[in-house]
Amino acid sequence: MKPIKRLTGFALYLALCGGLVWGYWAIAYRDALMQLAGTGTVQLEQATDRLLGQLERFRQLPGLLADHPLVARALDPANNPTKTNAFLLHNADLTGASDIYILDQSGTTIASSNANLPRSFMHHNYSFRPYFQDAINGGLGFFHALGASSLQRGFFFAGPIRDANAKPIGVMVVKVDIEALETVWRAEPQILLFHDENGVVFLSNRSGLIFKMYDYDPALQELLNAQRQYPDNGLTPLPAHSETVVFGHRLWQTPDHPIFPQTSLTLTRPVPLIDMTAQIFVNVHDAQKQAQFRAMLAAALIAVVSLTFYALRQRRLRLAERLAIEERANSELEKRVERRTEQLHRAQDDLVQAVKLTALGEMSAGLSHELNQPLAAIQNFAENGKILLQRDRRDEAQENLNQISSLTKRMDRIIQNLRAFARKEDKTVGPVDMIEIIKEAVKLVSIRARNEGVTIKADIGTTPAPVMGGDVRLQQVLINLMSNAMDAMQGQESKTIEIMLEPGPKTTRVSLRDSGPGLNTPDKIFEPFYTTKSVDTGHGLGLGLSISYGIVQSFGGKIKGTNHPYGGAIFTMELQSAQETP
pLDDT digits (tens, 9 = 90+) for 268-286: 999 988 889 999 999 888 8
In 3D space, the residue among 359, 418, 423 whose CA is nearest the CA of residue 544 turns out to be 418
Q: Are 457 and 497 in contact (CB under 8 A)?
A: yes
The count of structural domains within the chain is 2
Instruction: Using pLDDT thresholds of 50, 70 and 90, give the confidence band for residue 363.
Output: very low
pLDDT digits (tens, 9 = 90+) for 56-72: 888 889 988 988 888 88
Between the two ends of the chain, the Cα-to-Cα distance in Å is 86
| pLDDT of the residue at 542 | 59
Instruction: Using pLDDT thresholds of 50, 70 and 90, give the confidence band for residue 400.
Output: confident
In 3D space, the residue among 126, 120, 119 whose CA is nearest the CA of residue 145 turns out to be 126
In 3D space, the residue among 66, 152, 59, 140 whose CA is nearest the CA of residue 101 turns out to be 66
pLDDT digits (tens, 9 = 90+) for 424-480: 434 578 899 999 999 888 887 887 888 889 999 988 888 888 999 888 888 888 888
Q: Which of 169-173, 224-228, 415-419, 470-474 has the lowest mean pLDDT?
A: 415-419
Distances (CA, A) of 302 to 110, 122, 307, 356: 80, 77, 8, 19
How many Cβ atoms are within 10 Å of 73's Cβ, its own excluded? 16
C-alpha to C-alpha distance for 269 and 383, rounded to whole angstroms: 27
Q: Is residue 475 part of a domain?
A: yes
Q: Are 75 and 167 in contact (CB under 8 A)?
A: no
pLDDT higher for 425 or 18? 18
Instruction: Using pLDDT thresholds of 50, 70 and 90, give the confidence band for residue 6.
Output: confident
Q: Which of 214-223, 302-311, 382-391 has the lowest mean pLDDT?
A: 214-223
Report the CATH number that the domain containing residue 561 is assigned in CATH: 3.30.565.10
At 284, which amino acid appears? V
Whole-number mean pLDDT of the chain? 81
Q: Is residue 314 part of a domain?
A: no
CA dihedral of residues 390, 396, 399, 400 (deg, nearest 10): -40
C-alpha to C-alpha distance for 254 and 243, rounded to whole angstroms: 9
| pLDDT of the residue at 395 | 84
DSSP state of 238: P
Flag whether pLDDT at 362 surpasses 50. no
Instruction: Using pLDDT thresholds of 50, 70 and 90, give the confidence band for residue 137.
Output: very high
Rounded mean pLDDT, 115-141:
89
Phi, then psi, of 128 in degrees rounded to 5:
-80, -10
At 216, which amino acid appears? Y
Q: Is residue 87 part of a domain?
A: yes
Distances (CA, A) of 250 to 36, 253, 489: 12, 10, 38
Please spell the DSSP secondary structure of 425-453, one letter per residue.
-----EEEEHHHHHHHHHHHHHHHHHHTT
Burial of 193 (0-12, 13-18, 19+ CB in 10 A): buried
| pLDDT of the residue at 543 | 65
Report the CATH number that the domain containing residue 108 is assigned in CATH: 3.30.450.20
Q: Is residue 164 part of a domain?
A: yes
Rounded mean pLDDT, 218-222:
74
Q: Are 573 and 548 in contact (CB under 8 A)?
A: no
| pLDDT of the residue at 248 | 85
Q: Classify the C-alpha dihedral 540-541-545-548 as positive or negative.
A: negative
Q: Is residue 285 part of a domain?
A: no
| pLDDT of the residue at 336 | 82
Burial of 76 (0-12, 13-18, 19+ CB in 10 A): exposed
Instruction: Using pLDDT thresholds of 50, 70 and 90, give the confidence band for residue 537.
Output: very low
How many Cβ atoms are within 10 Å of 127's Cβ, its own excluded? 14
Rounded mean pLDDT, 382-404:
84
Q: Classify the C-alpha dihedral 189-380-395-89 as positive or negative.
A: positive
CA 303, chain centre distance (Å):
43
Instruction: Using pLDDT thresholds of 50, 70 and 90, give the confidence band for residue 86.
Output: very high
Flag whether pLDDT at 108 surpasses 90. yes
Q: Are 435 and 546 in contact (CB under 8 A)?
A: no
Which residue(s) pair with 573 in the sheet?
Answer: 510, 559
Flag whether pLDDT at 420 surpasses 70. no
The per-residue b/e assignment along 468-486, b for 16 or more CB within 10 angstroms, e otherwise, is bbbbbbbbbbbbbbbbbbb
CA 297, chain centre distance (Å):
34
Flag whether pLDDT at 414 surpasses 70. no
C-alpha to C-alpha distance for 315 and 318, rounded to whole angstroms: 5
Rounded mean pLDDT, 114-121:
88
In 3D space, the residue among 47, 3, 334 whose CA is nearest the CA of residue 189 turns out to be 47
Instruction: Using pLDDT thresholds of 50, 70 and 90, give the confidence band for residue 354.
Output: very low
How many Cβ atoms are within 10 Å of 264's Cβ, its own excluded? 22
C-alpha to C-alpha distance for 370 and 473, rounded to whole angstroms: 12
Which structural domain, as residue segments, surrounds residue 542? Answer: 428-576
Q: Is residue 507 part of a domain?
A: yes
Q: DSSP 3-state assignment of 104?
A: strand
Q: Is residue 327 part of a domain?
A: no
pLDDT higher for 254 or 91? 91
| pLDDT of the residue at 415 | 62
Q: Is residue 408 part of a domain?
A: no
DSSP state of 117: S
| pLDDT of the residue at 499 | 94
Rounded mean pLDDT, 260-268:
88
Query: Which of 135, 162, 180 is the endpoint of a domain?
Result: 180
Q: Are 413 and 543 in contact (CB under 8 A)?
A: no
DSSP H helical segments within 513-578, as ranges? Answer: 544-554
Flag whether pLDDT at 529 surpasses 80. no
pLDDT higher for 572 or 547? 572
Report pTM: 0.49
Flag whether pLDDT at 549 surpasses 80. yes
